[in-house]
Chains A and B, each alone.
Chain A
Amino acid sequence: MKLRAWAWLALSSLGPLWCATRPHYGGALAVDLSTAFNTLEPAELPPLLWPAIAETLVRVNARGEVEPLLAASWQRESEGKRWRFSLRPKVTFHDGEPMTATSVAPVLLAALKKTYADVTVTAGSQTLVVQSDHPMRDLLSELANPSAAIVRKTEANTFIGTGPFRVANWEPGRRLTLAAFEDYWGGRPYLDSVVINLTSTRANADLFDIPFASPRRIVPEATRTWSSSPRELVALVAAGIDAPVWQGLALSIDRAPVVDVLTQKRGQAAFGLLPQWLSGYAFLFQASPDLTHARQLIASARPAPLTLTYAPNDSFARAVADRIALNARDAGIAIRPAPGANGNLRLVRWQLDSADAFAELTRLAGFAGAPERASSLDPSRPETLYEAERALLDTNRVLPLVYLPLVYGLAPRVHNVERNDAFNLHLENLWVDP
């Protein structure tokens, strides 16, 4: 009896715990975003929203791996010149139209044409064949981009996707209301609706972004936050800077205060171009500031004053630029930070949208004006990735500073949040206390 009583007591104490962690259907999630957008085109939406409305054939999972989404499977043929995708069955658009290969093909073709000029997309019954005369090594990465999201544009100029939420109401630039898509192929989401207020700087919604930009949101202490894996690279890009000056500048910059203070420890010091989760070897580039050596290099070079430009209205970029100018001044380099884009030095914020390290580095090399440094990339030989990145860094054209994640603040009533360092936050997984 005594044992049974104890067992009963133990079971009854677990009851509330069970109730507390069990997913709850229903309810509305209030989301405040600091940014604004005036179109629902997936590529223009924040990473939090576009996957809730529209889906791509494949996506990057929490481990940074590509996984099936609207495409149930795929086959790579002819050394990547032809790809065959099998579409997921029983997928319908928000207006009830079934997703077919015929409806997907033109959307896909328009998206891929930007990257692969000679690409063709052939629709089968439930399959799509993507073909080109050249190997499409980055095709999966391209297909995971929001620009390749499968959506239909209506006559009312709205986009209809296949995601777990449909657009219930849209006030451009002000508010977006999403409603649960009952016929979602992955099952109805927990939330009934998501109400997104734009350009809000409050921090009392269920979910709000904490951007590394203006307007800065005042986040109360002990606010629960979620951070993604690094999704942005803040770097200096230059052209025509002498090697000693560049090296002196690189040695003068102390990234730790930038990470600790300006990112409030949410960012990571970047010494390589690709983050650790993407390349796996980022730690190899790690270095410490060396002001003495920097001064020696600068003293011999005697550089003219430089201008460091950053995006106007980007307070984070401005703060980083000011800090770099301060570090550089300690080393003997005069740098004048200014908003704009025509400085000797530019502070750029590079979106790490791709889960494909090879594709990302190729894009970065092109952006840095040294595409030849990525010509030796061979996905079958992982060591070429490191060699190409090292070569790109050695061009003295791009200097990584800090990686930034996506950061959101969460109210206590929000549950089932992805683990930190995941690639993205999925609204369809969230549920809220009533």
Chain B
Amino acid sequence: MSFRVKVFLSITATVVVAVWIVAAVVSTLVTRSFERRDGERTAALVSQFRREFDRRGAEVARRIDAIANSEAIQRMAVNLGGSEPDANRYFDQAQALAREQSLNFLDLVGPDGRIISSAEWPARFGYQESWLTEQANWKSAGTFLKREDLADGSALGLITVRTLKAGERTLYIAGGLELDKDFLDSLPSVEAMRVQLVRNFEPLPPPESLGSKLTAALVEAVRKQPREVTRTGTQASITALPLLGRDQQLLAILLVESSRAELASLKNYIQGTAWTVGGGGVLLGLMLSLWTASRVTRPLRELTASVREVAGGNWNARATVESSDEVGQLARNFNQMTQQLAEQRDRMIQAERVAAWRELARRLAHELKNPLFPLQLTVENLQRARDASPEQFDEVFRESTTTLLAELDNLKTIIGRFSDFAKMPAPHLEPVDLNQTARDVVKLFDAQIHAPGRPPVEVRFDTQDNLATVRADPDQIRRALRNLILNALDAMPNGGTLAIRTESLNGAGQGKVALEISDTGEGLTPEECERLFTPYYTTKQHGTGLGLAIVQSVVSDHKGTITVHSQPGKGTTFRIELNA
């Protein structure tokens, strides 16, 4: 991971975490504040409902009192208290009285508990309302909730009962107002709050009509256990207030629903802001990382590039020193180091050149000294022969000249080798079948391999069929293979196995062909392996030390690689990889 990415991630993470924490804290505080305000508003609305309930109850009581004191009821009481009471004639009295007093319900009930007149359900005259006669003092009962049966269903009524003496008998006046939508509409309107009244008698409202699953669950909970319950959902907070009747039965449930849309909106705003700030943080992190990178990592990158250049051989590469901080110090040190390295390299090159010249001189002296010494002896022998025995001079001359010519050929050969190494021509590339080339080269050594008296050498080919051809100069490849095979045979004076393997390289090295030449000779030490391709280095008694150098030069000119694997006593393997 680059320094720039690290800086970017650090800044971004810092900003995002900070924003998240702030957003979470603000969101929590807002939620708590909203819930506190929501609770206060709900309590206020419930309180208002109770006040309105009491106010209407008082109003109902006042109206029922007015009815009880009305002339019509007084006359009715007189009639019913008389000797020939006729309740039938008052069967529609309640409707007129209810209309006068704007009551939704009014039942005039006789001493026997039978309805004389009913405003809300006129057809119920004569039906029994025994609950009225079960209590003596209705004045103390106040106003209460009661389910009122109607022709087309039921309603919830806020009921007051008054009694009136009709002679020895008692006349009951029960009436009230419906606790309906109008009642709820009379409550003060509070923004984002909704009041709903759910009746708890047949027909029960279907759950889907209650608005939400939360509401339905709340209603069900209150039905099971009538008590005030508040539940909070994602969309709303709902408080359910059980409304009980005179004998504590659950008649209705008041639902005060407070919408949390505002809170959700606020949270969304906070979240949106957090996202925006977070996004800004990421952007800022990116910019800061870029800026930091430009200020901090650019010198480092330049230094890295300089290091790469040095590693690539450009010892003159230098890092730019722009600051006096640690990075600047590092650049200065780097420049100092590379300067020292360059100086050391120059000195080493100088030394290597001197060493090379010395080695060349030594090799030349050694190579030339061998044929020169016989030349010197032969010439001295000619001089002695002419002086000592002129009669034999001609014969000596003939033998000496023959020797001189042979040694001069030898000198010529030595010089030719050096000349060849010095002027390796540029390869002329064409498709070359390494399998066939290897077989052709091995064939050149047949006579040497099967020479009489030579310990047997087994030649083993382990070549891959359909081997890809390589782009190479066939003459140079043959020359390199000749040197390797000659070395291998030289390494096995006591016989052994010469193995030649080829293979196509797939995968990472796709498009390459490998060729290995192995012997089962004495093998080489690691030190020998390291110096093996050094020109003029040889392990053989009469070698020039140029064979493997030439091989490496050929392979290198073909953009290939050559490696050697050897273990003392187990033989040596040269592996050449060329591009297909």
Instruction: Show the binding face of A for B, using Cβ within 8 Å.
Output: 216, 221, 257, 260-262, 264-265, 319, 322-323, 325-326, 336-337
Contact = CB atoms under 8 A, between A and B. Distances in A.
Q: Closest 9 CB pairs between A and B?
A: A322-B123, A323-B123, A261-B91, A261-B88, A326-B123, A257-B126, A260-B88, A261-B125, A264-B89
B151 A322 contact: yes
B124 interface: yes
B122 interface: yes
Given A261-B125, A261-B126, A319-B123, A325 B151 contact: yes
Interface in B81-133: 88-89, 91-92, 121-127
A323 B115 CA distance: 13
Contacts of B122: 319, 322
B512 to A, nearest CB: 94
A258 to B, nearest CB: 10
A224 B89 CA distance: 15
A392 B127 CA distance: 33
Contacts of A265: 88
B76 to A, nearest CB: 11
B104 to A, nearest CB: 17
A228 to B, nearest CB: 21
Contacts of A319: 122-123
A326 to B, nearest CB: 5
Overall SS of chain B's interface: loop
B203 to A, nearest CB: 13
A269 B122 CA distance: 20
A257 B123 CA distance: 10
17 contacts: A216-B92, A221-B79, A221-B89, A257-B126, A261-B91, A264-B88, A265-B88, A319-B122, A322-B122, A322-B123, A322-B151, A323-B123, A325-B151, A326-B123, A326-B124, A336-B152, A337-B151
Contacts of A216: 92
A337 B151 CA distance: 9
- What band does the interface of chain B fall in when counting residues whose beta carbon is under 8 Å from A? 10 to 19
A260 B124 CA distance: 13
A337 B121 CA distance: 13
A325 B88 contact: no
Contacts of B124: 326
A315 to B, nearest CB: 9
B151 A257 contact: no
A81 B126 CA distance: 54
Nearest to A254: B126
A144 B92 CA distance: 38
A259 B91 CA distance: 12
Nearest to A219: B89
Contacts of A257: 125-126
Contacts of B121: 322, 326
B73 to A, nearest CB: 15
Contacts of B91: 261-262
A261 B89 CA distance: 7
A106 B127 CA distance: 57
Contacts of B152: 336
Nearest to B123: A322
A337 B122 CA distance: 13
Contacts of B92: 216
Contact of B151 (A260, A262, A264, A326): A326
B123 A325 contact: yes
B356 to A, nearest CB: 122
Contacts of A326: 121, 123-124, 127, 151
A265 B89 CA distance: 9
Nearest to B152: A336
B260 to A, nearest CB: 43
B102 to A, nearest CB: 21
A326 B123 CA distance: 7
A402 B123 CA distance: 16
Contacts of B151: 322, 325-326, 337
Nearest to A336: B152
Interface string B534-553: 00000000000000000000
B117 to A, nearest CB: 9
A221 B88 CA distance: 13
A355 B354 CA distance: 163
